[in-house]
Structure 1
Amino acid sequence: MNVGTFNIKGAGVGKAKTVKGLLSKYGLSFMVIQETQFRELPERVIKRFWDNSTFDYIKVDAEGRSGGLLPIWNPGVFKKNSEVVSQNFILVSGRITGDQVDTTIVNVCAPTVQSSRRQLWNEILTLKQSIQGQWMILGDFNEVRFPQDRFNSQFDVGGALCFNNFIRNAGLQEYNMGGKRYTFMSGAGKNLSKIDRVLVCD
Protein backbone atom coordinates (compact mmCIF):
# COMPACT_ATOMS: atom_id res chain seq x y z
CA MET A 1 0.00 0.00 0.00
CA ASN A 2 1.43 3.36 -1.03
CA VAL A 3 0.86 6.23 1.41
CA GLY A 4 1.25 9.95 0.77
CA THR A 5 1.30 13.10 2.89
CA PHE A 6 0.60 16.69 1.86
CA ASN A 7 0.39 19.93 3.84
CA ILE A 8 -2.01 21.77 1.54
CA LYS A 9 -2.46 25.06 3.48
CA GLY A 10 -6.04 25.46 2.33
CA ALA A 11 -8.45 22.99 0.73
CA GLY A 12 -9.05 24.92 -2.48
CA VAL A 13 -9.94 23.43 -5.87
CA GLY A 14 -6.38 23.78 -7.15
CA LYS A 15 -4.99 21.86 -4.18
CA ALA A 16 -7.55 19.11 -4.72
CA LYS A 17 -6.39 18.69 -8.33
CA THR A 18 -2.80 18.43 -7.14
CA VAL A 19 -3.70 15.72 -4.62
CA LYS A 20 -5.63 13.75 -7.25
CA GLY A 21 -2.61 14.01 -9.51
CA LEU A 22 -0.40 12.53 -6.79
CA LEU A 23 -2.86 9.67 -6.26
CA SER A 24 -2.61 8.76 -9.93
CA LYS A 25 1.14 9.32 -10.33
CA TYR A 26 2.20 7.27 -7.32
CA GLY A 27 -0.68 4.80 -7.05
CA LEU A 28 -1.63 6.00 -3.58
CA SER A 29 -4.26 4.14 -1.59
CA PHE A 30 -3.94 6.28 1.55
CA MET A 31 -3.36 10.04 1.73
CA VAL A 32 -2.96 12.13 4.88
CA ILE A 33 -3.58 15.86 4.49
CA GLN A 34 -2.72 18.66 6.92
CA GLU A 35 -3.84 22.30 7.15
CA THR A 36 -7.18 22.06 5.36
CA GLN A 37 -7.99 25.40 7.05
CA PHE A 38 -11.71 24.57 6.90
CA ARG A 39 -13.74 25.09 10.06
CA GLU A 40 -16.45 22.77 8.72
CA LEU A 41 -15.14 20.65 5.84
CA PRO A 42 -18.15 19.29 3.90
CA GLU A 43 -18.08 15.93 2.15
CA ARG A 44 -18.63 17.58 -1.24
CA VAL A 45 -15.24 19.27 -0.80
CA ILE A 46 -13.60 16.09 0.48
CA LYS A 47 -14.74 14.27 -2.68
CA ARG A 48 -12.58 16.63 -4.75
CA PHE A 49 -9.44 15.05 -3.25
CA TRP A 50 -10.20 11.54 -4.48
CA ASP A 51 -10.82 9.84 -7.81
CA ASN A 52 -14.08 8.18 -8.80
CA SER A 53 -13.44 5.09 -6.62
CA THR A 54 -14.94 4.62 -3.16
CA PHE A 55 -13.16 6.16 -0.20
CA ASP A 56 -13.33 6.47 3.55
CA TYR A 57 -12.09 9.36 5.66
CA ILE A 58 -11.88 11.00 9.07
CA LYS A 59 -11.59 14.72 9.57
CA VAL A 60 -10.66 17.26 12.19
CA ASP A 61 -11.88 20.75 11.41
CA ALA A 62 -9.59 23.74 11.69
CA GLU A 63 -9.70 26.14 14.62
CA GLY A 64 -10.57 29.34 12.82
CA ARG A 65 -8.25 29.39 9.79
CA SER A 66 -5.55 27.26 11.40
CA GLY A 67 -5.10 23.49 11.24
CA GLY A 68 -7.49 20.88 9.95
CA LEU A 69 -6.64 17.21 9.28
CA LEU A 70 -7.95 14.77 6.69
CA PRO A 71 -6.78 11.18 6.23
CA ILE A 72 -8.56 9.63 3.24
CA TRP A 73 -8.13 6.08 1.91
CA ASN A 74 -9.37 3.26 -0.30
CA PRO A 75 -11.43 0.90 1.92
CA GLY A 76 -10.79 -1.93 -0.52
CA VAL A 77 -7.09 -1.72 0.33
CA PHE A 78 -7.20 -0.65 3.99
CA LYS A 79 -9.90 -1.76 6.42
CA LYS A 80 -10.20 0.49 9.47
CA ASN A 81 -10.64 -1.15 12.87
CA SER A 82 -10.33 1.82 15.21
CA GLU A 83 -9.46 5.50 15.39
CA VAL A 84 -8.21 8.11 17.86
CA VAL A 85 -8.91 11.74 17.03
CA SER A 86 -7.53 14.92 18.55
CA GLN A 87 -6.94 18.46 17.31
CA ASN A 88 -3.32 17.74 16.35
CA PHE A 89 -3.45 14.16 15.11
CA ILE A 90 -5.72 11.47 13.72
CA LEU A 91 -4.76 7.84 14.36
CA VAL A 92 -6.28 5.19 12.11
CA SER A 93 -5.62 1.52 12.89
CA GLY A 94 -6.62 -1.32 10.62
CA ARG A 95 -5.38 -3.98 8.25
CA ILE A 96 -4.05 -3.82 4.71
CA THR A 97 -5.75 -6.33 2.42
CA GLY A 98 -3.74 -9.56 2.36
CA ASP A 99 -1.65 -8.60 5.39
CA GLN A 100 -1.79 -10.52 8.67
CA VAL A 101 -0.55 -7.67 10.88
CA ASP A 102 -2.44 -4.54 11.90
CA THR A 103 -1.12 -1.22 10.62
CA THR A 104 -1.53 2.12 12.39
CA ILE A 105 -1.20 5.36 10.44
CA VAL A 106 -1.02 8.69 12.28
CA ASN A 107 -1.65 11.99 10.48
CA VAL A 108 0.14 14.73 12.47
CA CYS A 109 -0.02 18.50 12.42
CA ALA A 110 1.91 19.46 15.55
CA PRO A 111 1.25 22.70 17.46
CA THR A 112 3.61 25.64 17.22
CA VAL A 113 4.12 25.89 21.00
CA GLN A 114 6.99 23.67 22.18
CA SER A 115 5.36 22.60 25.46
CA SER A 116 2.26 21.50 23.52
CA ARG A 117 4.44 19.52 21.11
CA ARG A 118 6.04 17.68 24.04
CA GLN A 119 2.59 16.74 25.29
CA LEU A 120 1.75 15.50 21.80
CA TRP A 121 4.89 13.32 21.63
CA ASN A 122 4.00 11.80 25.01
CA GLU A 123 0.42 11.12 23.95
CA ILE A 124 1.44 9.40 20.72
CA LEU A 125 4.14 7.41 22.53
CA THR A 126 1.57 6.14 25.04
CA LEU A 127 -0.69 5.04 22.18
CA LYS A 128 2.23 3.38 20.39
CA GLN A 129 2.98 1.32 23.48
CA SER A 130 -0.64 0.14 23.71
CA ILE A 131 -1.39 -0.65 20.03
CA GLN A 132 0.52 -3.54 18.48
CA GLY A 133 1.52 -3.92 14.84
CA GLN A 134 3.19 -1.78 12.19
CA TRP A 135 3.26 1.99 12.66
CA MET A 136 3.65 4.98 10.36
CA ILE A 137 3.57 8.56 11.66
CA LEU A 138 3.71 11.29 9.03
CA GLY A 139 2.86 14.90 8.39
CA ASP A 140 3.87 18.30 9.76
CA PHE A 141 5.80 17.90 13.03
CA ASN A 142 6.59 21.63 13.39
CA GLU A 143 10.00 20.61 14.76
CA VAL A 144 13.44 19.94 13.30
CA ARG A 145 15.89 17.24 14.33
CA PHE A 146 19.29 18.69 13.46
CA PRO A 147 20.87 22.16 12.97
CA GLN A 148 21.12 21.58 9.20
CA ASP A 149 17.32 21.28 9.10
CA ARG A 150 17.12 25.07 9.48
CA PHE A 151 18.39 27.96 7.34
CA ASN A 152 18.29 31.58 8.56
CA SER A 153 16.27 30.58 11.63
CA GLN A 154 17.18 29.66 15.18
CA PHE A 155 17.83 26.01 16.06
CA ASP A 156 16.07 25.00 19.29
CA VAL A 157 18.34 22.45 20.97
CA GLY A 158 15.79 21.52 23.63
CA GLY A 159 12.95 21.03 21.16
CA ALA A 160 15.10 18.91 18.85
CA LEU A 161 16.33 16.78 21.76
CA CYS A 162 12.77 16.12 22.89
CA PHE A 163 11.69 15.23 19.35
CA ASN A 164 14.65 12.90 18.78
CA ASN A 165 14.02 11.21 22.13
CA PHE A 166 10.41 10.61 21.11
CA ILE A 167 11.53 9.03 17.82
CA ARG A 168 14.03 6.79 19.61
CA ASN A 169 11.70 5.79 22.46
CA ALA A 170 8.93 4.96 19.99
CA GLY A 171 11.27 2.72 17.98
CA LEU A 172 10.83 4.80 14.85
CA GLN A 173 13.12 5.61 11.96
CA GLU A 174 12.84 8.30 9.29
CA TYR A 175 12.47 7.68 5.58
CA ASN A 176 14.94 9.61 3.47
CA MET A 177 13.31 12.30 1.38
CA GLY A 178 14.06 13.20 -2.21
CA GLY A 179 13.73 16.63 -3.76
CA LYS A 180 14.50 19.80 -1.84
CA ARG A 181 16.21 19.84 1.55
CA TYR A 182 13.56 22.01 3.23
CA THR A 183 9.77 21.66 3.37
CA PHE A 184 8.65 25.02 4.81
CA MET A 185 9.53 28.65 4.19
CA SER A 186 8.69 31.85 6.04
CA GLY A 187 9.92 35.42 6.17
CA ALA A 188 9.24 36.03 2.46
CA GLY A 189 11.16 32.88 1.61
CA LYS A 190 14.29 33.78 3.56
CA ASN A 191 13.77 31.34 6.45
CA LEU A 192 13.71 27.64 5.58
CA SER A 193 13.18 24.50 7.65
CA LYS A 194 12.47 20.79 7.33
CA ILE A 195 9.43 20.08 9.49
CA ASP A 196 7.54 17.51 7.38
CA ARG A 197 8.60 13.88 7.81
CA VAL A 198 7.69 10.22 7.44
CA LEU A 199 8.49 8.06 10.49
CA VAL A 200 8.02 4.28 10.49
CA CYS A 201 8.52 1.48 13.00
CA ASP A 202 11.73 -0.56 12.88
Structure 2
Amino acid sequence: MHTSILSWNIRGIRKREKIRAVNQLISSQHPKVILLQETKLEVINGKLVKRLWNLDRAQFSFSPFFGSAGGLLSIWDPDWIQVSQIIVKPRILAIIGFMGVNKLLGGILNVYGPSIDLEKKDFLEEVSSIIKDSGIAWCLGGDWNLFIDPSENIGFSLNQAMIDLFKNFIFEASLLDLSLVGGCFTWCNNRDPPTFVRLDRFLITANFDLAFPNLMQTVLNKSISDHNAICIQSDHLNWGPKPFRFFNHWYNEKGFDNFVISTVKNIKHRNSGVGI
Protein backbone atom coordinates (compact mmCIF):
# COMPACT_ATOMS: atom_id res chain seq x y z
CA MET A 1 0.00 0.00 0.00
CA HIS A 2 1.38 3.39 -1.02
CA THR A 3 2.38 5.47 1.99
CA SER A 4 3.26 9.13 1.83
CA ILE A 5 3.73 11.74 4.56
CA LEU A 6 4.41 15.39 3.70
CA SER A 7 6.04 18.08 5.81
CA TRP A 8 6.24 21.78 4.94
CA ASN A 9 7.10 24.97 6.79
CA ILE A 10 4.53 27.11 5.00
CA ARG A 11 5.50 30.40 6.75
CA GLY A 12 1.91 31.52 7.30
CA ILE A 13 -1.27 30.15 5.85
CA ARG A 14 -3.64 33.12 6.00
CA LYS A 15 -3.22 34.15 2.39
CA ARG A 16 -5.18 32.62 -0.45
CA GLU A 17 -2.06 31.78 -2.45
CA LYS A 18 -0.61 29.80 0.47
CA ILE A 19 -3.82 27.77 0.79
CA ARG A 20 -3.78 27.12 -2.94
CA ALA A 21 -0.14 26.01 -2.81
CA VAL A 22 -0.85 23.46 -0.06
CA ASN A 23 -3.91 22.20 -1.94
CA GLN A 24 -1.86 21.74 -5.11
CA LEU A 25 0.88 19.92 -3.21
CA ILE A 26 -1.63 17.51 -1.69
CA SER A 27 -3.27 16.95 -5.08
CA SER A 28 0.07 16.08 -6.68
CA GLN A 29 1.55 13.93 -3.88
CA HIS A 30 -1.56 12.13 -2.56
CA PRO A 31 -0.35 11.96 1.07
CA LYS A 32 -1.86 10.01 3.94
CA VAL A 33 -0.68 12.66 6.42
CA ILE A 34 0.51 16.24 5.98
CA LEU A 35 2.47 18.17 8.61
CA LEU A 36 2.53 21.97 8.39
CA GLN A 37 4.72 24.28 10.46
CA GLU A 38 4.47 28.03 11.06
CA THR A 39 0.78 28.36 10.23
CA LYS A 40 0.79 31.59 12.30
CA LEU A 41 -2.83 30.88 13.24
CA GLU A 42 -4.31 30.75 16.70
CA VAL A 43 -7.49 28.96 15.60
CA ILE A 44 -7.96 26.44 12.78
CA ASN A 45 -11.35 25.07 11.75
CA GLY A 46 -12.72 22.42 9.45
CA LYS A 47 -13.53 24.95 6.75
CA LEU A 48 -9.86 25.85 6.33
CA VAL A 49 -8.82 22.19 6.38
CA LYS A 50 -11.38 21.49 3.64
CA ARG A 51 -9.78 24.18 1.49
CA LEU A 52 -6.35 22.67 2.07
CA TRP A 53 -7.32 19.03 1.53
CA ASN A 54 -10.44 18.33 -0.45
CA LEU A 55 -11.21 15.15 1.46
CA ASP A 56 -14.54 15.04 3.28
CA ARG A 57 -13.31 12.57 5.89
CA ALA A 58 -9.97 14.30 6.59
CA GLN A 59 -9.27 14.81 10.27
CA PHE A 60 -6.90 17.31 11.85
CA SER A 61 -5.33 18.67 15.00
CA PHE A 62 -3.34 21.84 15.60
CA SER A 63 -1.09 23.62 18.03
CA PRO A 64 -1.74 27.40 18.00
CA PHE A 65 0.95 29.91 17.17
CA PHE A 66 2.95 31.60 19.91
CA GLY A 67 4.47 35.07 19.84
CA SER A 68 4.76 36.22 16.24
CA ALA A 69 5.50 32.81 14.74
CA GLY A 70 4.87 29.11 15.13
CA GLY A 71 1.70 27.12 14.89
CA LEU A 72 1.45 23.47 13.83
CA LEU A 73 -1.22 21.69 11.81
CA SER A 74 -1.44 17.94 11.16
CA ILE A 75 -4.08 16.57 8.77
CA TRP A 76 -4.61 12.89 8.09
CA ASP A 77 -6.69 10.37 6.20
CA PRO A 78 -8.55 8.31 8.85
CA ASP A 79 -8.65 5.37 6.46
CA TRP A 80 -4.86 5.16 6.86
CA ILE A 81 -4.42 6.06 10.54
CA GLN A 82 -7.10 5.68 13.21
CA VAL A 83 -5.95 8.21 15.79
CA SER A 84 -6.53 7.34 19.45
CA GLN A 85 -4.33 9.93 21.17
CA ILE A 86 -3.15 13.46 20.40
CA ILE A 87 -0.35 15.32 22.19
CA VAL A 88 -0.31 19.09 21.79
CA LYS A 89 2.58 21.29 22.88
CA PRO A 90 3.82 24.68 21.62
CA ARG A 91 6.45 23.16 19.30
CA ILE A 92 5.24 19.57 19.11
CA LEU A 93 2.08 17.97 17.77
CA ALA A 94 1.84 14.18 17.92
CA ILE A 95 -0.90 11.85 16.71
CA ILE A 96 -0.87 8.21 17.82
CA GLY A 97 -2.96 5.39 16.43
CA PHE A 98 -3.10 2.35 14.17
CA MET A 99 -1.47 2.92 10.79
CA GLY A 100 -1.60 1.28 7.39
CA VAL A 101 -3.16 -1.99 6.30
CA ASN A 102 -1.33 -3.86 9.05
CA LYS A 103 -2.72 -1.51 11.74
CA LEU A 104 0.73 -0.81 13.15
CA LEU A 105 0.57 1.06 16.44
CA GLY A 106 2.62 4.17 15.83
CA GLY A 107 2.90 7.91 16.03
CA ILE A 108 3.44 10.80 13.63
CA LEU A 109 5.17 13.72 15.32
CA ASN A 110 5.09 17.23 13.80
CA VAL A 111 7.87 19.52 15.08
CA TYR A 112 8.93 23.15 14.81
CA GLY A 113 12.26 23.59 16.56
CA PRO A 114 13.35 26.84 18.21
CA SER A 115 15.76 29.13 16.38
CA ILE A 116 17.43 30.19 19.64
CA ASP A 117 20.30 27.86 20.56
CA LEU A 118 19.67 28.08 24.29
CA GLU A 119 16.18 26.59 23.81
CA LYS A 120 17.17 23.66 21.59
CA LYS A 121 18.35 21.27 24.30
CA ASP A 122 15.04 21.52 26.20
CA PHE A 123 13.10 21.10 22.95
CA LEU A 124 14.93 17.88 22.01
CA GLU A 125 14.53 16.54 25.53
CA GLU A 126 10.78 17.15 25.26
CA VAL A 127 10.63 15.26 21.97
CA SER A 128 12.66 12.43 23.49
CA SER A 129 10.35 12.21 26.50
CA ILE A 130 7.41 11.56 24.17
CA ILE A 131 8.96 8.85 22.01
CA LYS A 132 11.42 7.22 24.42
CA ASP A 133 10.42 3.81 25.77
CA SER A 134 6.99 4.14 24.16
CA GLY A 135 7.42 0.82 22.36
CA ILE A 136 5.62 2.06 19.25
CA ALA A 137 6.79 3.02 15.77
CA TRP A 138 7.53 6.69 15.18
CA CYS A 139 7.90 9.03 12.25
CA LEU A 140 9.10 12.52 13.20
CA GLY A 141 8.94 15.28 10.63
CA GLY A 142 9.17 19.03 10.42
CA ASP A 143 11.44 22.04 10.68
CA TRP A 144 14.02 21.20 13.36
CA ASN A 145 16.06 24.39 12.96
CA LEU A 146 19.06 22.09 13.34
CA PHE A 147 21.30 20.12 11.02
CA ILE A 148 23.70 17.25 11.64
CA ASP A 149 26.62 17.84 9.30
CA PRO A 150 28.55 20.87 8.00
CA SER A 151 27.83 19.67 4.45
CA GLU A 152 24.15 20.46 5.07
CA ASN A 153 24.95 24.15 5.23
CA ILE A 154 26.30 26.79 2.86
CA GLY A 155 26.77 30.31 4.15
CA PHE A 156 25.28 29.73 7.60
CA SER A 157 27.38 30.11 10.74
CA LEU A 158 28.44 26.74 12.16
CA ASN A 159 27.84 25.86 15.78
CA GLN A 160 29.48 22.50 16.41
CA ALA A 161 27.84 22.22 19.83
CA MET A 162 24.39 22.35 18.19
CA ILE A 163 25.44 19.81 15.55
CA ASP A 164 26.65 17.44 18.26
CA LEU A 165 23.48 18.03 20.28
CA PHE A 166 21.27 16.99 17.36
CA LYS A 167 23.43 14.00 16.45
CA ASN A 168 23.41 12.78 20.05
CA PHE A 169 19.63 13.12 20.19
CA ILE A 170 19.25 11.00 17.05
CA PHE A 171 21.67 8.40 18.39
CA GLU A 172 20.21 8.16 21.89
CA ALA A 173 16.65 7.98 20.55
CA SER A 174 17.72 5.21 18.09
CA LEU A 175 16.32 7.13 15.14
CA LEU A 176 17.15 6.57 11.48
CA ASP A 177 18.02 9.50 9.24
CA LEU A 178 17.29 8.47 5.66
CA SER A 179 19.27 10.01 2.83
CA LEU A 180 17.61 12.96 1.12
CA VAL A 181 16.78 12.47 -2.56
CA GLY A 182 16.32 15.34 -5.00
CA GLY A 183 18.52 17.94 -3.31
CA CYS A 184 20.80 18.71 -0.37
CA PHE A 185 19.04 21.64 1.31
CA THR A 186 15.51 22.55 2.38
CA TRP A 187 15.78 26.28 3.18
CA CYS A 188 17.21 29.32 1.43
CA ASN A 189 17.20 32.91 2.66
CA ASN A 190 16.74 34.18 -0.94
CA ARG A 191 19.46 36.80 -0.54
CA ASP A 192 22.58 37.62 -2.47
CA PRO A 193 24.73 35.74 -1.70
CA PRO A 194 22.25 33.04 -0.67
CA THR A 195 22.40 30.79 2.38
CA PHE A 196 21.33 27.17 2.03
CA VAL A 197 20.65 24.83 4.97
CA ARG A 198 18.91 21.50 5.51
CA LEU A 199 16.60 22.43 8.39
CA ASP A 200 13.72 20.09 7.53
CA ARG A 201 13.88 16.31 7.77
CA PHE A 202 12.10 13.12 8.72
CA LEU A 203 13.51 10.80 11.37
CA ILE A 204 12.05 7.34 11.91
CA THR A 205 12.38 4.40 14.27
CA ALA A 206 13.56 1.02 13.02
CA ASN A 207 10.13 -0.57 13.46
CA PHE A 208 8.55 2.14 11.30
CA ASP A 209 11.17 1.43 8.63
CA LEU A 210 10.40 -2.29 8.77
CA ALA A 211 6.64 -1.78 8.61
CA PHE A 212 6.76 0.40 5.50
CA PRO A 213 9.22 -1.03 2.95
CA ASN A 214 11.17 0.94 0.36
CA LEU A 215 11.00 4.19 2.31
CA MET A 216 12.52 7.19 0.58
CA GLN A 217 12.89 10.79 1.77
CA THR A 218 12.56 13.40 -0.98
CA VAL A 219 12.91 17.16 -1.16
CA LEU A 220 10.22 18.66 -3.40
CA ASN A 221 10.49 21.69 -5.67
CA LYS A 222 10.42 25.05 -3.93
CA SER A 223 7.07 26.81 -4.12
CA ILE A 224 5.67 29.78 -2.22
CA SER A 225 7.66 29.38 1.01
CA ASP A 226 11.39 29.82 1.61
CA HIS A 227 11.33 26.19 2.79
CA ASN A 228 11.04 23.22 0.45
CA ALA A 229 8.39 20.69 1.30
CA ILE A 230 9.77 17.22 2.02
CA CYS A 231 8.11 13.83 1.65
CA ILE A 232 8.77 10.40 3.09
CA GLN A 233 7.11 7.70 1.05
CA SER A 234 7.08 4.07 0.10
CA ASP A 235 5.22 2.21 -2.56
CA HIS A 236 3.73 -1.23 -2.97
CA LEU A 237 6.31 -2.42 -5.50
CA ASN A 238 8.60 -5.18 -4.29
CA TRP A 239 12.17 -4.25 -5.15
CA GLY A 240 13.58 -7.34 -3.44
CA PRO A 241 15.53 -7.47 -0.18
CA LYS A 242 16.12 -4.10 1.43
CA PRO A 243 19.75 -2.89 1.26
CA PHE A 244 21.76 -2.90 4.45
CA ARG A 245 21.95 0.55 6.01
CA PHE A 246 24.94 1.67 8.03
CA PHE A 247 24.87 4.80 10.18
CA ASN A 248 28.10 6.56 11.16
CA HIS A 249 26.94 7.14 14.74
CA TRP A 250 27.14 3.37 15.31
CA TYR A 251 30.90 3.84 15.61
CA ASN A 252 30.29 5.63 18.91
CA GLU A 253 28.35 2.74 20.42
CA LYS A 254 30.23 1.09 23.29
CA GLY A 255 31.52 -2.33 22.29
CA PHE A 256 30.80 -1.80 18.57
CA ASP A 257 34.27 -2.90 17.39
CA ASN A 258 34.17 -6.11 19.44
CA PHE A 259 30.66 -6.86 18.18
CA VAL A 260 31.76 -6.56 14.53
CA ILE A 261 34.84 -8.71 15.08
CA SER A 262 32.92 -11.46 16.89
CA THR A 263 30.14 -11.42 14.29
CA VAL A 264 32.59 -11.79 11.39
CA LYS A 265 34.33 -14.65 13.20
CA ASN A 266 31.03 -16.46 13.76
CA ILE A 267 30.00 -16.07 10.11
CA LYS A 268 33.36 -17.32 8.86
CA HIS A 269 33.20 -20.26 11.23
CA ARG A 270 29.68 -21.24 10.13
CA ASN A 271 30.49 -20.96 6.43
CA SER A 272 33.83 -22.70 6.37
CA GLY A 273 34.34 -24.28 9.74
CA VAL A 274 37.54 -22.26 10.09
CA GLY A 275 37.95 -19.26 12.40
CA ILE A 276 39.79 -16.10 11.51
Runs of 5+ consecutive residues of structure 2 not aligned to the other structure: 207-276
Match of 1:4 in 2: 6
Q: How does 1:21-170 map to 2 (within 5 A)?
A: 21-170=24-173
CA contact 1:110–1:120 (8 Å) conserved in 2 = yes
Which structure 1 residue ranges, 4+ long, deviate > 6 Å from structure 2? none
**C-alpha displacement at 1:44, in angstroms?**
2.2
Please tell me the residue identity of whatever aligns with 2:180.
M
Cα distance in 1 for residues equivalent to 2:27 and 2:20: 11
Runs of 5+ consecutive residues of structure 1 not aligned to the other structure: none
Cα–Cα, structure 1 residues 52 and 98, in superposed 2: closer, same or farther, change >3 Å? closer
Match of 2:174 in 1: 171
Q: Secondary structure at the residue paired with 1:132?
A: coil
Of 80-89 and 184-193, deviating more is: 184-193
RMSD of the alignment, in Å?
1.6
Cα distance in 2 for residues equivalent to 1:18 and 1:39: 21
Task: Find out whether 1:200 has 2:204 as its counterpart.
Answer: yes
Cα distance in 1 for residues equivalent to 2:22 and 2:163: 30
Q: Secondary structure at the residue paired with 1:93?
A: strand
The number of equivalent residue pairs is 202
Cα distance in 1 for residues equivalent to 2:180 and 2:25: 16
Cα distance in 2 for residues equivalent to 1:26 and 1:176: 19
**C-alpha displacement at 1:68, in angstroms?**
0.7
**C-alpha displacement at 1:187, in angstroms?**
6.7
Q: Secondary structure at the residue paired with 2:95?
A: strand
**C-alpha displacement at 1:15, in angstroms?**
2.1
Cα distance in 2 for residues equivalent to 1:47 and 1:134: 29
Higher strand share: 1
Match of 2:19 in 1: 16
The two structures have a TM-score, normalised by structure 2, of: 0.69
Largest Rg, 1 or 2: 2
Match of 1:191 in 2: 195
**C-alpha displacement at 1:121, in angstroms?**
1.0
Cα–Cα, structure 1 residues 101 and 156, in superposed 2: closer, same or farther, change >3 Å? same
Please tell me the residue identity of whatever aligns with 1:6.
W
**C-alpha displacement at 1:153, in angstroms?**
1.5
Cα distance in 2 for residues equivalent to 1:48 and 1:16: 7
Cα distance in 2 for residues equivalent to 1:150 and 1:99: 39
**C-alpha displacement at 1:16, in angstroms?**
2.1
